A and B are shown apart, each in its own frame.
Chain A
Amino acid sequence: MTANGAVLDVRDLRTHFHTREGVVRAVDGVDFSVRPGEVLGLVGESGCGKSVTSLSIMGLVPKPGRVESGEIMFNGRDVLTMSKRQVQDLRGEHISMIFQQPTSALNPVARVGDQISEVYKIHRDLKKKVGKKSAIEMLERVGIPDPDRRAASHPHEFSGGMAQRVMIAMALALEPEILIADEPTTALDVTIQAQILDVMRELQRESGTAVILITHDLGVVAEMCDRVAVMYAGRIVEETDVATLFADPRHPYTRGLIGSVPVLGRITDELATIPGVVPNLMDVPAGCRFADRCEERVPAGLEICTSEEPDLFAVGDDHVARCWLYTEKISP
């Protein structure tokens, strides 16, 4: 375990994609840590580097991507310096992941029960019979009715919600320290979403697994997370506990995000939006990445925003924001 008691500590992670057109800095200096048993929300709009961050932790960055620098300390060991074999043993047993499209994340030709018991086979070398029994137990724990019979079914017989339960059963079969959930409910309809989140939270509490919940849905964040890290254009821009984030968001981007969620019952002609678009990650502007779209920069009379990038400044107890509004150092 690291000094601050975190089970996972990501420091200055940079993952770049070397394409023919140029280098895409998908993740460009991300720091965050996950404490044992907590649910950390990783929030941001599409293309801000959430998924690439999680794939970097798993050691599964697809080509032509590469982790350029930084460290990912898992229980005091740097995942980035481990051998391929060591990382492979880590996956599934200590760090698991579930995906956005549950129906396509299951092998269509294998029975569901066999797919779950395969996890035991890979990491524990359990006999098939024992693995099968454990698999059925897991199916029961994630709330699949008639687990004995369902274990013999193929994935195409499962609906999205049921398939996601199976994925959760697979991911949590060995009670890993960390579960990375990459938009686990985005592909499901709303009533099923709530059920899946309930199952996740229940099992997470039982097994003490820490969860990194990647989402762009602030409702899911409010419901599930203990702490939240907001990402923008490959960097963390704000990190704090969930209550503080919604009560007292500091970064202008976070404020924009929360402001753009429509409120039930309030009648408006137009939905609130954040003006502008995400900067091109191939050619990141100097200074704050959000400067172009920031509605607080001009009123505050800040010049530094377009020339120098802010650090994560402490704006409260266990609350940091990457914004020049919160520092004494105004002149360059």
Chain B
Amino acid sequence: MFKMKRAVEQAEESETDLLDKPTSLWRGAGRRLLRRKGGMVGVGIIGFMLLVALFAPLIAPYGPNDVLIGKEDVKKREPPCIHLLGCDPEKPQHIMGTDGNVRDEFSRVVYGSRVSLFVGFTTVAVALVVGSVLGAVSGFWGGATDNIIMRMMDVVLGFPALLLAIAIVAVLGPGIRNTLLAISIVSIPAYARVTRAGVLGIKELDYVAASQALGASKIRILWTRVMPNALTPLIVIATLGIATAILDAAAFGFLGLGAQPPTAEWGAMLASERNNILSAPHLLFFPGIAIMITVLGFNLFGDGLRDALDPSLNE
């Protein structure tokens, strides 16, 4: 009897030991992310880009649309002139040179980050909200609702994404806002499908049944039980989706369907100077590099997140 009691006490003790510090799932994920070099490089790049976009007026020496002809001693499409690297101190400094309209290329690249990040974040936000709600409703209610929503998604998926987006812009007219809308619409199905898949699995789990047994309504179960648990893969594809959206927006700008002149937008900047690639390569190099680095940053961050949010990889 005495032995038994001791065993019980010991069991209790070890149980309390186990539960020592309350930690959240997110804190664990954050710690794992910190340990991933690629992910941290991504975080660094994204952080840098956000700062650049936020403080663009302080960083850029000129306005993005300031035509400098007549104000300074510059010609159009001048190569970069950096005083530190031995450029004639008499000449005004343009670290990325000037473009075809005698505007400071560096200022335009800096301001361009605002457009790209804005497009990236807003399109993904819109697509994520609409897509995940559609997917969740579809997976949770099932039946005819599921069929109608998912067949609509299949129709959208049936078209090549960029082509459909171009068609939407062609109907609505070019411009940033319509580009946003078009890219959002074509990326909705991806989020809807991922959410639906997650919801289908989660709604069979014990804690959903348990909350039903406590008298929770379907909506409450969907919001407090199902959605938060289906969120992990969504965060990852949303991060990677930002990269795609930025690339798409640049493509739209390049095709002349997105941002309209004189807006400083990386894709549009590439397009307007593409005929001068041999005489003024810097005008294609710098906006191109800016696109590449930003997209790389989001991709690295997305990959890092995917690993960090998978607790089975916990070392």
Contacts and interface: CB of A to CB of B under 8 A. Distances in A.
Interface of A: 58, 60, 88-93, 96-97, 99, 101, 104-110, 118-119, 122-123, 145-146, 149-150, 152-154, 156-159, 161-162, 167, 170-171, 189, 191-192, 194-195
A194 B213 CA distance: 25
B279 interface: no
State the majority secondary structure of interface residues on B. Answer: helix
Contacts of A194: 8
A101 B206 contact: yes
Interface of B: 4, 7-8, 11-12, 15-16, 18-19, 22-25, 205-207, 209-217, 220, 224-225, 228-229
Given A60-B209, A159-B15, A110 B215 contact: no
Contact of B224 (A118, A145, A158, A159): A118
A158 B19 contact: yes
12 contacts: A60-B209, A88-B217, A99-B210, A118-B224, A152-B22, A153-B19, A157-B18, A157-B23, A159-B18, A171-B214, A191-B4, A194-B8
Contacts of A167: 210
B8 A97 contact: no
Given A99-B213, A152-B22, 16 more contacts: A91-B213, A92-B213, A96-B214, A99-B210, A105-B210, A107-B225, A119-B215, A122-B217, A154-B24, A157-B22, A159-B19, A161-B11, A170-B214, A192-B11, A194-B8, A195-B8
A154 B214 contact: no
A96 to B, nearest CB: 7
B207 A108 contact: yes
Contacts of A170: 214
A104 B213 contact: no
Nearest to A116: B214
A143 to B, nearest CB: 9
A104 B18 contact: no
A109 B12 CA distance: 25
Contacts of B25: 108-109, 154, 156
Contacts of A162: 15, 19
Q: Which 3 A-B pairs have the closest CB atoms?
A: A92-B215, A92-B214, A91-B215
Contact of B212 (A60, A159, A192): A60
A163 to B, nearest CB: 10
Contacts of B16: 145-146
Contacts of B214: 91-92, 96, 118-119, 122, 170-171
